[in-house]
Amino acid sequence: MRFLRPRVGAMLRSQPHRRRMLALALAALGLFLASHVQAENSAIRIGAPLPLTGALSPEGLKLQQGYELWKDVVNAAGGINVGGTKRLVEIVYYDYQSATPKAVQLAEKLATDDKVDFMFSPFGSGATKAASTVSERYGIPTIAPTASSAEVYDQGYKNLFGTFTDNSTLSEPMTDIAKAKAPKVQRIAILARNDLYPLALGQEFEKSGKKRGFEIVYFGKYAINTLDHASALTEIKGANPDWIVATGYINDMILIRKQMADLGAKAQVVTMINAPAYQEFIDATGPLAENVTSATWWHPAEHYQSKDAFGSTEHYTELFQNKFKSLPDFTNATGSASGVVLQMAIEKAGSTDRAKVREALAAGGFDTFFGPLSFNAAGQATSYVPPVFQIQRGKAVVIYPDAIKAGDLQLGVQ
Amino acid sequence: MLYVQVLVNGLLLGGLYACIAAGFSLVWGVLNVINILHGSFVVLGAYLAFFAYTALGIHPYLFAPIAALVLFGLGYAIQYTVVNRVIEAPVLVTMTATFGLALLLDNIMLVAFKADFRKINLVPPLGVVDVGKLVPGLNVVVPVDRLASMLFALLFVALLYLLLRRTAVGRAIVAVRMDRYAATLMGVDPTVIFALTFGIGAALAGAAGALLSPIFPISPLAATSYLGKAFVTCVLGGLGSVSGVLVGGLLLGVLESFGAIFLGPEHALTLSFSVLIIFLLFRPSGLMGKRGFV
């Protein structure tokens, strides 16, 4: 072999451009190998635009807690099992300051600058729908933790998978219960925040109510950032409803509940969605929270045995309490569930290849602490029944479905 | 009867707005500073009252003077150390300075108090006055906490009026507003007067925060809503006038209440902002605005 060396050397010397080509090719090969090796062992990166400041920051921070708990549990176990190799999880957060256009920009940045492997949607139906265009354009499988309005999933996108069932799954059981347990309740007044999700939810209650023969005596929409609901509640009081339904975010619900008491607007049934699922609603309204009903996609009182990183609803709740010193609510839980379902899809696919993971997600069949998760053709979860609950003696008590209920509907809200 | 209740709702709401706007109007009228920090001061006052009530059991109405005192110190310090450096600059510069400070304060509160919404639940609750029981046939209810806040707003305005009219400090404040250099020649130190005025504005915000803590959910995010209401109240009522705050607040409250009835709750603000635009076009000085603060 020795004789070859001078010949190759002479050849290279005689053809300087070829030598440059060879050097370039070697460098390229090196780079390719280096990046390939790095990709094999590097963390799986997930982009998460969140409203960490601004009006939606309470929800944004809760979602982040959910993601972080999942990440910590997975990484403590060595990472996600990708076809036999364990890879750690890294979540890239950006704060979109509760401004939807900014959420879309940051999703774009995550896709192009940060080159994340997968994404979690921003908070709420509106922002999720807006940012889903970015995931679709770059073909990034994206889990939507908090989008329940069917309108989010009607664009024929292939990369969006939502953990929340449709809004009607909240209004239907509640109207069934009212029909069965409170035969005297006939007149419904609905006050909905003029915002994609709360308004859609209000309209679902209108539909579910009419379907069962209830009379809708008032339907009002209030503007975002409304500081006073006195006029609407005065009208509601005048309409003499048996059932008052209010939708919106937690600050709206605290204020509406307080002003209902101020104006003496009472009813047999008062439903507020989704604020009563949060302990802070109960703390902020005190005795006024009593007998308020609500429905939500997840509750710590559920008992699911799962094949995910958490094992069961109970174990999830315990881990969450250990880490954050408070009970998890549905926003925390859907954050963790988004991680869990992505993890299970990657493990099932045995790869982080986006097309394979997308296929695994679409195939569904994930047993999680959040409930069984499978998605319809549009990408929205359809596989579990969200529980209905009521605040009784300062605690949330599940009253539906029967399999997990801990009490019955109590009538009368002062 | 509906309209009587709506009118009462509007007047009570207007009282809250006047309560929120009093300090803002003073600072704008005297210092010509549009104090973006004002909403954050209100929120800080509410938080102080919340912790005083939950930890020490001090009633927010009793705590209001203490909140005012704490906020006075903070306001005085901020004016003396930061805003005074740019007080000579055009109004946009001082506005930007207070905007930056507001971002800072809001985020400090977000970190310190978390983003959770809180509210004081008075035990026992103050309840409502059922006017129907006093005047048969008049089916109107009045929530006591809102009524109390409205009365406090009246008290603030009266005190402010007396301060500006009857005390040496008050006359000095008015003098500086009218002609800063002439006031200096008369032996008034404008730097101190500015800091005092800003401090009084912050004190009024702190007291308002304490009074509102049983009424509105408390959160750092509420700051911008309060600021917006204070701004509109001042424009409607007119700058440089103590009673303008009251008139502006009541007008805004009543407009919003009737707007919600006639146009639907989603357009409650449409009517009030339409009136605001009409005022800006045809009567930019507001209902009772005048130069100087008297």
When scoring A62, A95, A227, A237 by the number of chain B Cβ atoms within 10 A, the one with the most, hence best to mutate, is: A227
| Same-domain check for residues A274 and A391 | yes
pLDDT at A64 over 90: yes
Co-location of A51 and A179 in the same domain: no
In a domain, A58, yes or no: yes
Indicate whether A209 and A317 sit together in one domain: no
pLDDT tens, position by position, A147-206: 998 889 999 999 999 999 999 999 999 999 999 999 999 999 999 999 888 999 999 999
Q: How far is the alpha carbon of A346 from chain B, nearest alpha carbon, in Å?
A: 34
Q: Kindly report the CA angle at A391 between A390 and A397, in degrees rounded to 5?
A: 60
Residues A72 and A203 in one domain: no
Say if residue A246 is in the same domain as residue A187: yes
Question: What distance lies between CA B27 and its chain's CA centroid?
Answer: 11
Q: Which of B38, B174, B176 is nearest to B99 (CA)?
A: B38
Looking at the fold, whether A196 and A250 belong to one and the same domain comes out as yes
ipTM: 0.90
Asked if residue A213 and residue A228 are part of one domain, the reply reads yes
A65 domain-assigned: yes
Instruction: Collect all residues of chain B within an 8 Å Cβ-Cβ radius of residue A329.
Output: none
Rounded to whole angstroms, how far apart are CA atoms B220 and A296?
26
Q: For residue B265, what are the contacts with CB-CB under 8 A and spacing of at least 6? A: A191, A220, A221, A222, A223, A226, A229, A231, A232
Task: Round to whole Å and give the CA distance between A42 and A115.
Answer: 13
A358 and A397 share one domain: no
CATH number, domain containing residue A72? 3.40.50.2300
Any A CB within 8 A of B110 CB: yes
Does one domain contain both A51 and A152?
A: yes
On whether residue A410 sits in a domain, the answer given is no
Smallest CA-to-CA distance from B95 within B262, B231, B195 is with: B231
CB contact under 8 A, A230 and B119: no
Contact: A57, B221; criterion CB under 8 Å: yes
Percentage of the residues of chain B whose pLDDT score is greater than 70: 98
Can you list the positions of beta strands (E) in A298-386?
Answer: 366-368, 371-373
Q: How far is A57 from chain B (nearest CA, A)?
A: 6
- Give backbone dihedrals phi and psi of B229, rounded to 5 degrees, phi first: -65, -40
**If you average pLDDT over residues A244-258, what whole number do you get?**
94
Name the residue with higher pLDDT: A143 or A197.
A143
pLDDT of residue A2: 45
Domain span at A98: 44-165+301-373
- Residue A379 in any domain: the answer is no
Neighbouring CB atoms inside 10 A of B101's CB total 17
Q: List pLDDT tens digits, range A356-366.
A: 999 999 999 99
Structure letter (DSSP) for residue A229: -
Nearest to A231 among B110, B118, B261 (CB): B261
Q: What is the 3-state secondary structure (H, E, C) of chain B?
A: CHHHHHHHHHHHHHHHHHHHHHHHHHHHHHHCCCCCCHHHHHHHHHHHHHHHHHHHCCCHHHHHHHHHHHHHHHHHHHHHHCHHHHCCCCHHHHHHHHHHHHHHHHHHHHHHHCCCCECCCCCCCCCEEEHHHHCCCCCCEEEHHHHHHHHHHHHHHHHHHHHHHHCHHHHHHHHHHHCHHHHHHCCCCHHHHHHHHHHHHHHHHHHHHHHHCCCCCECHHHHHHHHHHHHHHHHHHCCCCHHHHHHHHHHHHHHHHHHHHHHCHHHHHHHHHHHHHHHHHHCCCCCCCCCCCC
SS3 (DSSP) at A328: coil
| Contact status of B203 with chain A (Cβ, < 8 Å) | no
If asked whether residues A21 and A144 sit together in one domain, one would say no
Tally the domains of chain A. 3
- Cβ–Cβ contact B89 with A under 8 A: no
Inter-chain touch B107–A229, beta carbons under 8 Å: no
* A49 and A116 part of one domain: yes
Interface of B with A in 138-167 (CB under 8 A): 141, 143, 145-146
Residue A36 has pLDDT above 50, yes or no: no
Quick one: which of A366, A359, A324, A311 has its CA closest to A344? A366
pLDDT level of residue B180 (50, 70, 90 thresholds) = confident
CB contact under 8 A, B143 and A262: yes
Beta strand pairing call for A187-193 and A243-247: parallel
Answer whether A332's CB lies under 8 Å from A278's CB: no
DSSP state for residue A73 in the 8-state scheme: H
- Please check whether residue B12 is in contact with residue B131, taking contact to mean a CB–CB distance below 8 angstroms: no
Distance in Å, alpha carbon of B85 to nearest chain A alpha carbon: 30
Residue B271 has pLDDT above 90, yes or no: no
The answer to whether B118 contacts A284, with C-beta atoms less than 8 Å apart, is yes
Count CB atoms within 10 A of the CB of residue A330. Answer: 26
Nearest residue in chain B measured CA to CA from A224: B266
